[in-house]
C-alpha cells in the first residue's frame, strides 16, 4: 500500500505540475524568447510588411530561395498562420519605427511593403526611410496615384500587382516562348539555368576590364546580358569591348554553380 500510494502520489504531482506548466504558457514564453534571440542576431535579411495575399507569396518565394526575412504583421490570425509555417514574425504595426527597429532594420538588406492598403504602405515606407535612408525599399501600390505617393515617400521601386498581372497575361498570349524562357531562367527550382544580378566591387579583379578581356563565357560559363552602371543607365547586350567598372551591376545568365563562382570573384 505504501509503494502504490507513493507512486500514485508522485504521478499525480507530476500531472499537476505538467498542467500548470502548459496552462501557464511556458511553451509560448520559450517560443517568444527564441524569437527574440533570432531577431537580435538576424542580418542581411528582408523585412516583409504584411502577410496577406501578396505578403504570403513574397515570404514563400524568399523561403524557397533561402533568403532570410522577417514578417511584420499586426493581425493576430495571420501572424499565427505565419508562425505555424516556421516564419520569424513580429506581431505589430509595420508603420511604427520602434517595430521596424525590433525587426532589425539597421541590419536589413531591404524592406518590402505589402500591407493591405496603400496608406499603410506609404506610412511603412516613410518610417523605413527615416530609419535607414540607404535601405532598398519595394512598395506595393494598387492605383497610379499611390505609385506616385510611394515614390515620394522614398520607395526605391513601386510594384502594382494588377498592372504586372495584366502585362504578364498579354505577354503570355503574344509571346509564350519568351515568357517560358524568363520563368525558366528566374525560377529558384531550376538547376540548369539561372539569371542573376552580380555587383562588381570597386577593388575586384574584374573591375576596369572589358567584357572580352574578362572572357566571362570561357572562365565562368556565363553570359553577360546587361550592365547597369552606377548612374542606373542600363546597357543591354553589351559590346565585347564594353568596360565593366567597380560598382556596376551585371545581369548574367548561366548555371547556378558557375554564377556563384562569378559572384565570389566579383565581390573580392
**CATH of the structural domain 37-165, one choice from 2.70.210.12, 3.40.190.10, 3.30.70.260, 3.40.50.720:** 3.40.50.720
Q: Are 88 and 154 in contact (CB under 8 A)?
A: no
Question: What's the confidence (pLDDT) of residue 23?
Answer: 57
Neighbours of 90 (CB within 10 A): 21
Question: What's the confidence (pLDDT) of residue 28?
Answer: 62
Question: What's the confidence (pLDDT) of residue 30?
Answer: 64
Distance CA 253, CA 251 (A): 7
Look up residue 232 and give its three cell numbers. 542606373
Nearest residue to 47 (alpha-carbon basis) of 91, 101, 105:
105
Buried b / exposed e over 259-268, threshold 16 CB at 10 Å, is: beebbebbee
Q: Where are the domains of the chain?
A: 37-165, 177-266
Question: What's the confidence (pLDDT) of residue 130?
Answer: 93
What is the DSSP-derived secondary structure letter of residue 201? P
Question: What's the confidence (pLDDT) of residue 188?
Answer: 65
What is the DSSP-derived secondary structure letter of residue 36? H
Question: What's the confidence (pLDDT) of residue 31?
Answer: 66
* Architecture of the 177-266 domain: 2-Layer Sandwich (3.30)
Buried b / exposed e over 152-178, threshold 16 CB at 10 Å, is: ebbbeebbbeeeeeeeeeeeeeeeeee
Our measurement of the distance from residue 123's CA atom to the centroid of its chain's CA atoms, rounded to an integer in Å, reads: 20
Nearest residue to 224 (alpha-carbon basis) of 192, 184, 187, 266:
266
Distances in whole angstroms, Cα of residue 79 to Cα of each of 42, 58, 124: 19, 15, 17
In order along its 268 residues, the chain shows pLDDT tens digits of 778 777 777 777 777 666 655 555 556 666 667 777 888 889 999 999 999 999 999 999 999 888 999 999 999 999 999 988 989 999 999 999 999 999 999 999 999 999 988 999 999 999 999 999 999 999 999 888 889 999 999 999 999 988 888 988 999 999 998 888 888 777 766 667 788 899 998 888 888 888 888 888 888 888 888 999 888 888 888 888 888 888 899 999 888 888 888 888 888 7
Distance CA 109, CA 171 (A): 31
Beta strand pairing call for 136-140 and 157-159: parallel
Question: What's the confidence (pLDDT) of residue 192?
Answer: 72
Question: What's the confidence (pLDDT) of residue 145?
Answer: 87
Q: Helical H runs in 65-160? A: 76-84, 97-102, 118-131, 144-153
Question: What's the confidence (pLDDT) of residue 242?
Answer: 86
Neighbours of 80 (CB within 10 A): 13
Question: What's the confidence (pLDDT) of residue 19?
Answer: 65
Nearest residue to 53 (alpha-carbon basis) of 179, 142, 124:
142
Beta bridge partners of 80: none
Amino acid at each position: 500500500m505504501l509503494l502504490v500510494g507513493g507512486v500514485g502520489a508522485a504521478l499525480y504531482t507530476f500531472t499537476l505540475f505538467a498542467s500548470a506548466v502548459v496552462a501557464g504558457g511556458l511553451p509560448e514564453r520559450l517560443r517568444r524568447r527564441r524569437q527574440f534571440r533570432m531577431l537580435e542576431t538576424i542580418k542581411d535579411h528582408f523585412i516583409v510588411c504584411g502577410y496577406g495575399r501578396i505578403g504570403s507569396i513574397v515570404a514563400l518565394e524568399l523561403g524557397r530561395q533561402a533568403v532570410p526575412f522577417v514578417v511584420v504583421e499586426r493581425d493576430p490570425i495571420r501572424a499565427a498562420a505565419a508562425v505555424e509555417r516556421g516564419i520569424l514574425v513580429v506581431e505589430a504595426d509595420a508603420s511604427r519605427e520602434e517595430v521596424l527597429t525590433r525587426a532589425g532594420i539597421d541590419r536589413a538588406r531591404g524592406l518590402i511593403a505589402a500591407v493591405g492598403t496603400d496608406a499603410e504602405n506609404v506610412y511603412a515606407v516613410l518610417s523605413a526611410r527615416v530609419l535607414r535612408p540607404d535601405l532598398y525599399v519595394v512598395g506595393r501600390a494598387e492605383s497610379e496615384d499611390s505609385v506616385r505617393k510611394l515614390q515620394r515617400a522614398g520607395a526605391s521601386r513601386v510594384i502594382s500587382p494588377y498592372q504586372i498581372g495584366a502585362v504578364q497575361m498579354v505577354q503570355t498570349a503574344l509571346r509564350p516562348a519568351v515568357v517560358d524562357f524568363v520563368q525558366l531562367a528566374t525560377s529558384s527550382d531550376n538547376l540548369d539555368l539561372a539569371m542573376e544580378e552580380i555587383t562588381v566591387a570597386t577593388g575586384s579583379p574584374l573591375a576596369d576590364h572589358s567584357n572580352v578581356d574578362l572572357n566571362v563565357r570561357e572562365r565562368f560559363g556565363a553570359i553577360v546580358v546587361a550592365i547597369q552602371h552606377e548612374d542606373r543607365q542600363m546597357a543591354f547586350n553589351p559590346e565585347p569591348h564594353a568596360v565593366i567598372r567597380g560598382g556596376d551591376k551585371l545581369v548574367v545568365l548561366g548555371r547556378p554553380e558557375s554564377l556563384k563562382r562569378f559572384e565570389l570573384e566579383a565581390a573580392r
